[in-house]
Homo-oligomer: A and B are copies of this chain.
């Protein structure tokens, strides 16, 4: 696979009470096109990733909303897979270009979450879990807490190890003016924060955010003609799925969907996990990043804590992870997250990330998860000569 990335944009993430879903989508569309130095009239199709618009904005026809925003009558496709909606939209756009049907496609991820009460949004998010899990009274922190406890008992890790992940990602976010929570925290603060679902505390959890992101993807041929300086390409895009119910899985200390999707992605790109310079992974909860670095093959099973606390995944380390601040601190406007990961990798590979720039940034990986891993999407971006 070889899909050119010719432009990218991220809105500020946060509690954006003055902005509607439509405002966020508009900003992402126009600014992404502007950053690409192309014209809106050149866009041939738009993919939009969003999970909750019917619940949070009474809007269930985003394809037409996008047409009204752009004034274009081109194909618009909404793609949804809970928190993996953004990654899935990128993946579908890639294959639409690969098919030759379109020469290019704009991908927008957007979510407006803060107009609902915290109870209502927590209930809405449980739509990404199974009916049985909801009926047990489980919440998403509860489901990830089950995985964390199992991981602890199997590999001897503890709460302070998880805290390290949040501290690192907040440090990265402190260098990112688009982040929802752009400030540093320390391990003591994490340990003293309110328990949400033991062992997960408030500062182990990603926030409820509003925001949008966009990337403009084209065929290599189109890029050669209209954006001849393009050097960054998506070289792999893989999707895998797994059961809704945790209880139906063989293993709770890793995500089979990530393992399958990443293997396929490495194969597509013709590289190995060791070749990755930096990654954006789906740290909806701190334990999720721990599992991700193992599932993606960045270290051996059970060794993620050693790997993380060694400093390898921090800015300046050998494989910086979540330089954007991750879901934890950059924020997690659901449909936007998977697209924002591609935006961050694009900017890193362009060496335009200022104080949070990874010195070595030629090959990046993005892992976007739906629910407790019922869906996984993995992309690889490469800077090619």
On chain B, the residues within 8 Å of A370 by CB distance are: 61, 63-64
The stretch of A74-82, A162-170, A220-228, A278-286 that contacts the partner chain: A74-82
- Whether A242 and B374, one on each chain, are in contact in the complex, defined by CB atoms closer than 8 angstroms, is no
In chain B, what residue has the closest Cβ to A59?
Answer: B127
Q: Does A124 make an interface contact (CB < 8 A)?
A: yes
Give the distance in Å from the alpha carbon of A366 to the alpha carbon of B216 in the complex. Answer: 31
Among the stretches A88-96, A173-181, A306-314, A346-354, the one at the interface with B is A88-96
Q: Min CB distance, A281 to chain B, in Å?
A: 19
When the two chains form their complex, are residues B77 and A63 in contact, meaning their CB atoms are under 8 A apart? no
Q: Are A64 and B374 in contact (CB under 8 A)?
A: yes
The reply to whether the CB of A68 lies closer than 8 angstroms to some CB of chain B is yes
Residues 33-70 (chain A) with a chain B CB within 8 angstroms: 51-55, 58-68
> Quick check: is A375 within 8 A (CB to CB) of the other chain?
yes
Contact A61 B374 (CB under 8 A): yes
From 237 to 255 in chain A, residues with beta carbon under 8 angstroms from any chain B beta carbon are 238-245, 248
Question: Does A101 reach chain B (CB closer than 8 Å)?
Answer: yes
The answer to whether A98 has its CB under 8 Å from any CB of chain B is yes
Contact yes or no, B124 A64, CB < 8 A: no
Q: Do B73 and A242 have beta carbons less than 8 Å apart?
A: yes
Complex contact A61–B74 (CB within 8 A): no
This chain's copy number in the assembly: 2
Of the candidate stretches A128-136, A150-158, A194-202, A357-365, the one touching chain B is: A128-136
Q: Which of A51, A62, A72 has the most CB of B within 10 A?
A: A62
Quick one: given A64-B241, A64-B243, A374-B63, are A58 and B92 in contact (CB under 8 Å)? no
Question: Are the CB atoms of A67 and B243 closer together than 8 Å?
Answer: yes
- With contact pairs A82-B64, A128-B61, A241-B64 given, residues A88 and B77 touching in the complex (Cβ less than 8 Å): yes
A257 within 8 A of B: yes
Chain B residue nearest to A46 (CB atoms) is: B241
Q: Does A100 contact B (CB under 8 A)?
A: yes
**A126 interface residue (CB < 8 Å to B):** yes
Asked if B128 and A68 sit within 8 Å, CB to CB, the answer is: no
Does chain B have a CB within 8 A of A229?
A: no
A188 to B239 alpha-carbon distance, docked (Å) = 54
Contact of A67 among B73, B96, B126, B241 (CB under 8 A): B241
Contact of A248 with B68 at beta-carbon distance under 8 Å, contacts A55-B55, A58-B127, A61-B370 already known: yes
Note all chain B residues with C-beta closer than 8 A to A64.
81-82, 128, 241-244, 370-371, 374-375
Tell me if B73 and A81 are in contact (CB < 8 A): no
Known: A62-B80, A64-B243, A65-B244. 8 other contacts (CB 8 A): A61-B375, A63-B82, A63-B84, A63-B374, A64-B370, A73-B241, A76-B239, A77-B81
Q: Which 10 A-B pairs have the closest CB atoms?
A: A64-B374, A60-B127, A99-B99, A67-B241, A75-B239, A98-B99, A68-B243, A61-B82, A61-B128, A63-B81
What are 7 contact pairs spanning A and B, CB under 8 A?
Answer: A51-B60, A60-B80, A64-B242, A67-B374, A68-B244, A74-B240, A77-B92
